[in-house]
Structures are given as C-alpha cells and as structure tokens.
Amino acid sequence: MFKYQVIKNAVSYDLANFIFNYFLLKRDAVDFMYKNNIIYDTGMFGTWGDTQVPNTYSHYADNVMETLLVKMLPVMAKETGLELIPTYSYARIYKKGDILRRHKDRPSCEISTTLNLGGDPWPIFIDDTGSNNVIDEYKQIHKPDAPKGTKVLLEVGDMLVYSGCELDTGESLLTGTFVAKYSYIIIM
C-alpha cells in the first residue's frame, strides 16, 4: 500500500519561485482591496479565515494553482504508479509563529501533496504508522504515546506525496519569516 514519498525537484526552482512571488503579490493585493472595501472577503480571492491556521492567507482553486495541479498530474502518476484524478488545489502562505496542527486529511484527500514553493525551510512531520493518534486537532491533543513522526524537509520545488486520509501530518512552529506551501489533492 502506498504511504508516502518525496519527489525531489518536482517543479523547477524558477517555476516555484515565479509562483511563490505571484502568490505573495496576490496576497498583498487582496489584503489592500479587503482593507479598503474595494472587494469583500467572500473567499473568492482568498481568505485569512481558515480555522486550521487562523489569520494566514490561503486560497482554494486559485487559477495558477489549478494549472499547476494539472501540470503535475503526469509527474505524480509516473512517480507513484497510481492512476489519479485531480480534485482540488489549495495554497497557503505561512508566516512566523504559524503552526499547522497534526491532522489527517478529509476523505476527498485520498492522496495528498505538499509542494514547497519558497520561503524559509520548515519541516513537515509525517506519522507513517497509520495510527489514529490525533484526539482533537484544534486543542492539539494526541494519544500519550503518539510518535512525533518522520521529519521531512522539502527544498524549494520538492513535493511530498502521501496517503492523506491514512497518515497524520503536521508542521512545527514556523520560526522563519514566511513560507508558501501548495497542496493539491487527488483521488485514485
């Protein structure tokens, strides 16, 4: 059964850097438009309202991220040997002090990915035992003997592909300035 793997240089540094800078500019433009009542936060241009990482810019189905989803499908199929169907894309720009709590993904995330688009190094921890160690994601309550998981440090352009519904994933406190991570979800 497929659990996880890292695909080194899944996208080139230049492409990752281009998308990273695009997303930073978009975040700043959307922030300006929201603060000046030019547009309202309906989520259509992204939001700071995701409860998983509060007050951090994120966006479902951004056009560039959707294009990246389709572009990466053949790479993922080749590397994993799985027949995959794209379901959705999601991107977030983490900032200093953010924590992505340990969690399992929802059923629409049978196979999940995290792609480092840029910013400071920030490890992801993945528990490949498949145990249900998360009692309450939002209160950060785990079973007492829960393993921390395997530390995975992605370079810009590297992608972690994993069984999102089966494996706990999460990240520690971000101590750097910021990092942009892109996730997209596919189903077998």
Cβ density class 132-145: b for 16+ within 10 Å, e for less: ebbeebeeeebeee
Phi/psi at 158 (nearest 5 deg)? -80, 150
Domain regions of the chain by residue span: 4-187
pLDDT at 13: 96
Site of tokens 């300035």: 177
Average pLDDT over residues 51-68: 91
| Fold topology of 4-187 | Jelly Rolls (2.60.120)
Could you give the CA distance from residue 99 to residue 179 in angstroms, rounded to a whole number?
12
Mind listing the pLDDT tens digit for each residue in 87-100?
888 898 988 888 77
pTM: 0.82
